Amino acid sequence: MAYDRDNIFAKILRGDLPCTKRHETEWAMAFDDIAPKTPVHVLVVPKGEYVDFNDFTARATAEEQAGFWRAVKETAEICGVGEEGFRLTTNNGEVAGQIVFHFHVHIFGGRPLGRMVRASDG
């Protein structure tokens, strides 16, 4: 899949759409999700044009990847969940529920999240 420069996260990164920014570095921007599922629900997106996790890990330089993951950690700390705990999620492809095809990580926290559902439970 080719990267779409008109996706919502590309527009946010360019400043064409507003967001509630939580953190920004050379490599990434973090902002509140518009439909939060937990008290803390922040998206962290790399500034480079990557469709999904597979694309990011295949094409981003080691420096970009390290800078991105460092920004994820810093964002969790800034949002107050770095010590108490948080969940990271990324959806890779349509079958996994990816809606915006710009690689991103969700940080969930601010309340007990419970265990993930076992395959035999669902």
In three-state secondary structure terms, 13 is helix
Secondary structure of residue 108 in the 3-state scheme: strand
104 tagged catalytic: yes
Helix (H) or strand (E) holding 11: helix 8-14
* pLDDT tens by residue, the chain, 122 residues: 899 999 999 999 999 999 999 999 999 999 999 999 999 999 999 999 999 999 999 999 999 999 999 999 999 999 999 999 999 999 999 999 999 999 999 999 999 999 887 777 65
Query: Among 23, 41, 102, 104, which one carries the catalytic annotation?
Result: 104
Percentage of residues in the chain with pLDDT exceeding 70?
Answer: 98
